[in-house]
């Protein structure tokens, strides 16, 4: 088969997602956790070039049989050449869709062991996506979670699975059903968190990796999941494989029952018991006292957005606008939502929310009536949540940096890279602004969702304590800040207030 190019990537990269696991510490750890024994029936559901099978053959002399499956005909040819032993069968099949082939339908066949590195976010055409939707329901755009769901069903009772996968399923909203299935139908033995740079040839910007080992059986009430993190040296995986957790950078045990009971069955990794308890037990969440919404997208920023001057960060490739084209009194226009006049056709725009407490206007957006009509009709622009445009509120960046910060929107239109937070009671605006700038808030948010994604869904879950003394204290700090703009001072005081209030 020719490895043709689809949307800039070769077919084997896009459709099959063939990044092979060529790391001995990873293979050693995974095969050790699989625990092969006599009589095992093993499945490699996305075998690629068969590295797991090689490792099993090298390290185990027991009697077992292996089914190696891959969708890519070229991989199948390679696997057949490599493994001609009578106990290894190579199949070309689609693990996610092939329910009727001889492979998976014989006597309702189940495996005692499954090991693999499933494809992440593999590209699927619409027909396949529809089929997957029909079979699995829910979110089908991420292939690795579908592999988990399918393979739980292919395991026999007490069978064990070991997969290397991205760690996004531990927290992201869209993977809630996958978390529920794992937590209800299996006993999770261990989750090993590792940086994606440990994986040869791949370095995801958006997430890290983990290796999950679970057994298909209902977990007992007091079963604890080991969460192990190895960050610095990949060679420490050899020690962790032998249960020597002194080589881990972090080791904790979480009650599986508690994970299942947490909101959205989220794992809340990275925190301690105290922080997890605050998240779970808090009576008021940010989403209860404020609307949290995503902002506007023009559809073509370079065309519609202009910078104040060339010194504005990230303004390369953007035009600069003169004052004569800016409508500085746009808030007085009674028909603002439908656009301003043609001459002064630009209004203030908040392109990002990177900043602390207050941010001057650096960008303007074209907002004359014709252009606004164009945004509304456009397929790519997003004229969303428009009842929140030009209102007071707080902006938080959609992507986390080291410390989250928040700024006042000050009635500016805000971009989709900003989550707008609009307190239902305006009295709490400064208090929430203070909290969203605190280290306490950043720590909690990291536990709610450890990935860089900071969308409204996660911000809504922030536990809020409405304490009169702290509300007054924050008001005072911000009053001083608005007078003297001493950022360091304000942040120090804010951090103090929330550290005492939340108790960590």
Q: Give the binding site for ligand SAM (CB under 6 A).
A: 16-21, 46-49, 51, 69-72, 75, 94-96, 116-117, 119, 122
Question: Which of 122/269 has CB closer to ligand SAM?
Answer: 122
Question: Which of 209/326 has CB closer to ligand SAM?
Answer: 209
Question: Which of 47/456 has CB closer to ligand SAM?
Answer: 47
Question: Which of 169/422 has CB closer to ligand SAM?
Answer: 169
Task: Give the tokens for residue 92.
Answer: 């070309």
What SS3 string covers 351-395? CCCCCEEECCCCEEEECEHHHHHHHHHCCCCECCCHHHCCCCCEE
Write down the least CB distance from residue 401 to ligand SAM, Å.
30
Q: Which residue is nearest to ligand SAM (CB)?
A: 48
Write down the least CB distance from residue 432 to ligand SAM, Å.
43
CA distances (Å), origin 153, targets 42, 160, 167: 14, 12, 21
Question: Which of 183/211 has CB closer to ligand SAM?
Answer: 211
Residue keyed to tokens 């590195």: 117
Rg (the chain; Cα; Å): 27
Residue keyed to tokens 């009842």: 387
Contact predicate 448/461, CB 8 Å: yes
Q: Say how far apart CA 262 and CA 277 lie, in whole Å.
A: 10
Q: Which residues contact 4 (CB under 8 A, 6 or more apart)?
A: 10, 11
H-type alpha helices, 137-206: 143-154, 176-185
Question: Which of 77/337 has CB closer to ligand SAM?
Answer: 77
**How many other CB atoms sit within 10 Å of the CB of residue 377?**
9
Best CA proximity match to 187, nearest among 151, 153, 223: 223
Write down the least CB distance from residue 83 to ligand SAM, Å.
14
Write down the least CB distance from residue 254 to ligand SAM, Å.
28
Question: Which of 95/437 has CB closer to ligand SAM?
Answer: 95
Contact predicate 268/186, CB 8 Å: no
Q: Say how far apart CA 413 and CA 242 lie, in whole Å.
A: 56
Write down the least CB distance from residue 453 to ligand SAM, Å.
23
Q: What are phi and psi of 260, to 5 degrees?
A: -60, -35
Contact predicate 20/49, CB 8 Å: yes
What three-state secondary structure class fits 427? helix
Write down the least CB distance from residue 164 to ligand SAM, Å.
7
Q: Say how far apart CA 475 and CA 84 lie, in whole Å.
A: 74
DSSP type of residue 271: S
Question: Which of 164/471 has CB closer to ligand SAM?
Answer: 164
Write down the least CB distance from residue 125 to ligand SAM, Å.
13
Q: Say how far apart CA 279 and CA 286 lie, in whole Å.
A: 11
Question: Which of 24/475 has CB closer to ligand SAM?
Answer: 24
Q: Which residues contact 233 (CB under 8 A, 6 or more apart)?
A: none
Question: Which of 69/413 has CB closer to ligand SAM?
Answer: 69
Question: Which of 75/462 has CB closer to ligand SAM?
Answer: 75
The backbone region for 357, taken as left when phi is positive above 0, alpha when psi lies in -120 to 50, beta otherwise, is left
Write down the least CB distance from residue 48 to ligand SAM, Å.
2
């Amino acid at each position: 088969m020719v490895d043709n190019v689809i949307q800039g990537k070769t077919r084997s990269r896009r459709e099959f997602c063939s990044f092979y696991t060529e790391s001995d510490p990873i293979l050693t750890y995974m095969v050790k956790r699989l625990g092969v024994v006599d009589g095992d029936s093993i499945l490699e559901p996305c075998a690629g070039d068969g590295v797991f099978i090689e490792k099993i053959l090298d390290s185990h002399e027991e009697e077992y049989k292996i089914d190696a499956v891959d969708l890519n005909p070229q991989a199948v040819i390679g696997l057949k050449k490599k493994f001609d032993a009578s106990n290894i069968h190579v199949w070309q099949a689609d693990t996610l869709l092939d329910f009727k082939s001889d492979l998976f339908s014989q006597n309702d066949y189940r495996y005692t062991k499954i090991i693999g590195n499933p494809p992440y976010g593999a590209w699927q055409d619409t027909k396949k996506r529809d089929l997957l939707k029909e079979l699995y329901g829910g979110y089908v755009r991420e292939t690795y979670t579908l592999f988990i769901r399918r393979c739980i069903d292919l395991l026999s009772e007490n069978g064990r699975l070991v997969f290397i996968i991205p760690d996004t399923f531990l927290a992201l909203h869209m993977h809630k059903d996958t978390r529920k299935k794992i937590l209800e139908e299996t006993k999770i033995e261990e989750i090993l968190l590792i940086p994606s740079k440990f994986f040869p040839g791949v370095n995801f910007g958006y997430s890290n990796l983990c290796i999950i080992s679970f057994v298909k059986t209902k977990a007992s009430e007091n079963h604890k999941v080991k969460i192990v993190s190895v960050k610095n040296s990949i060679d420490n995986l050899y020690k962790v494989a032998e249960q020597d957790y002194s080589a881990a950078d972090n080791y904790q045990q979480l009650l599986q029952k508690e994970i299942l009971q947490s909101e959205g069955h989220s794992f809340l990794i990275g925190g301690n018991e105290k922080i997890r308890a605050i998240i779970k037990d808090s009576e008021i969440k940010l989403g209860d006292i404020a609307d949290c919404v995503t902002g506007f997208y023009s559809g073509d920023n370079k065309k519609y957005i202009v910078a104040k001057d060339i010194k504005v960060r990230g303004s390369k490739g953007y035009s600069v606008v003169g004052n004569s084209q800016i409508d500085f009194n746009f808030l007085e226009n009674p028909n603002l939502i439908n656009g301003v006049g043609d001459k002064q056709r630009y209004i203030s725009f908040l392109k990002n929310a990177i900043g602390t407490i207050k941010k001057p206007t650096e960008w303007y957006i074209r907002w004359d009536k014709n252009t606004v009509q164009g945004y509304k009709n456009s397929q790519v622009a997003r004229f969303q949540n428009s009842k929140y445009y030009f209102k007071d509120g707080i902006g938080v960046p959609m992507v986390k940096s080291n410390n989250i910060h928040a700024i006042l929107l000050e009635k500016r239109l805000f971009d989709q890279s900003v989550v707008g937070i609009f307190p239902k009671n305006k009295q709490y605006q400064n208090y929430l602004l203070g909290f969203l700038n605190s280290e306490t808030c950043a720590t909690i948010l990291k536990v709610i969702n450890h990935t860089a994604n900071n969308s409204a869904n996660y911000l809504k879950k922030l536990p809020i304590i409405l304490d009169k003394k702290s509300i007054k204290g924050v008001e005072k700090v911000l009053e001083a800040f608005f007078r003297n703009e001493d950022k360091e001072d304000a942040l120090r005081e804010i951090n103090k207030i929330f550290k005492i209030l939340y108790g960590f």
